[in-house]
Amino acid sequence: MKLEIGNFYVKDVAFGNETKFENNVLVINKEEALNYIREDEHITEADLIIAKPGENVRIVPVKEAVEPRIRPDGRPVFPGVTGDVEKTGEGRVHALKGVSVLGVGKHWGSFGDGLIDMSGEGAKYTLFSQTINICLVADTDEEYERYEQQKKNHAIRWGSHRLAEYIGRTVRNLEPEEVEKYELEPVTKRSENMQNLSSVVLVMQPQSQMEELGYNDLVYGWDMNKYVPTFMHPNEVLDGAIISGSFMPASSKWSTYDFQNFPIIKELYKEHGKSINFLGVIMSNLNVSLEQKKRSSIFVAQIAKSLGADGAIVTEEGYGNPDTDYIMCIAALEDIGVKTVGISNECTGRDGASQPLVTLDVKANALVSTGNVSEIIKLPPAEKVIGELQALARDGLSGGWAYDEILGPSVKEDGSIIMENNAMFCGDRIAGWSTKTVKEF
């Protein structure tokens, strides 16, 4: 399978009379775009607001991030979501780089929603302080979940995907500045030189714990709670086969933007044929019961062994209960002789002194941490808030609270905030973006 991603680099975004991309500037006809979004009858209020790096702007509650893209051949960018189920991972897709579409609640937040600061101390915690963000700020008629801590956020999340595809149309028939090419030979048809390199597989564990459908990540529009570990081509991940769900606390989340640009996959591609033989992706899942977790680890180990993997990287979307799947999978791979590295965040408590993962195993002896979800963060007021700041305190965002007997409320009267790292949108960058490091004292 050969995938070409044609990149168009966006230097600025503005509203204007015509939606177009010209001279590295994306112009959006705001009313036309909003009319397109309002075709979903469940969206009752909607606005588009542009947030740029360096602005004194705070965005909350953020539910989703999507890179604007389009396929010149007319296939949907997100099969099973923005159109019929079609194959991904080959052909050409055009991408607008340096910009993202954010789905933002106009009022109501949720357990899995997060916060983005576009400047100042808070900007270092999330990749999306570095992108120009087209914020779809919306409210919906999904009143049955309005006061629920855990929301599906269906209309806003899917509206974000539709808007990203709508904006992507601006470059459908243009020539990209750069074309990235991703191609892997069939596993059994590779050269002798390639076969002599260490064979490596990436094991991904997207969020799929919720047994009630609608909260989990989707693969080709299919709820991953119904999924079992499967060998996938990495191009499918980069090409819209998987979209983010609404369940996991924000700092641990893989947004759709993360899947579209998954850095670990891109790094493995760079080393393919040089230092490693990149076999592909074992797409696993995260489960609820111990029996389900064990079954998935057996599947993963069997696939890796059948492929002839010498090494593996395992990365999980989340923490807490998913740590069991994560560690069990690493141990199962080590048991069959596959040397395995794990990548995850950790939950060591506000004082940093607790056990980092819910469960551990001596076989999991090569772990990469992307940070502590419980780290306390204090940030000054922002000049402008997109969305509703009080959602951080009021609506059960993981990392925010209405009142703490020691720390008081998350949102102070002057607009400053105190929160756990949990609430930073995609803040731990488990997909491989992380710039965090360790300092020993």
CB neighbour list of residue 406: distance below 8 Å, 6 or more residues apart? none
In a domain, 70, yes or no: yes
Mean pLDDT of 175-181: 98
pLDDT tens across 373-397, in order? 999 999 999 999 999 999 999 999 9
Mean pLDDT of 232-247: 97
Mean pLDDT of 189-202: 97
In a domain, 103, yes or no: yes
In a domain, 297, yes or no: yes
Confidence of residue 357 (pLDDT cuts 50, 70, 90): very high
| CA–CA separation, 93 and 7 (whole Å) | 9
pTM of the predicted model, to two decimals? Answer: 0.97
- In this predicted structure, the answer to whether residue 441 has a pLDDT above a threshold of 70 is no
pLDDT tens across 286-329, in order? 999 999 999 999 999 999 999 999 999 999 999 999 999 999 99
Q: Which long-range contacts (CB under 8 A, 24 or more apart) does 195-199 make?
A: 195/277, 197/273, 197/275, 197/276, 197/277, 198/275, 198/276, 198/277, 198/310, 198/311, 199/276, 199/277, 199/279, 199/307, 199/308, 199/309, 199/310, 199/311
In a domain, 379, yes or no: yes
- Please state which of the ranges 30-39, 83-92, 178-187, 430-439 shows the lowest mean pLDDT: 430-439
| CA–CA separation, 252 and 240 (whole Å) | 20
| CA–CA separation, 236 and 3 (whole Å) | 9
Confidence of residue 435 (pLDDT cuts 50, 70, 90): confident
Average pLDDT of the chain is 96
pLDDT tens across 90-141, in order? 999 999 999 999 999 999 999 999 999 999 999 999 999 999 999 999 999 9
In a domain, 136, yes or no: yes
- In this predicted structure, the answer to whether residue 434 has a pLDDT above a threshold of 90 is no
Confidence of residue 167 (pLDDT cuts 50, 70, 90): very high
In a domain, 430, yes or no: no
pLDDT tens across 206-225, in order? 999 999 999 999 999 999 99
In a domain, 433, yes or no: no
Say if CB 221 and CB 139 are below 8 A apart.
no
In a domain, 429, yes or no: no
Looking at the structure of the chain, the number of domains it has is 1
| CA–CA separation, 396 and 61 (whole Å) | 11
Burial status of residue 62 (CB atoms within 10 A of its CB: 0-12, 13-18, 19 or more): buried
* Domain span at 19: 2-423
What is the chain's length? 441
Torsion of CA 224, 137, 15, 98, to 10 degrees: -40
Q: What is the DSSP letter of 190?
A: -
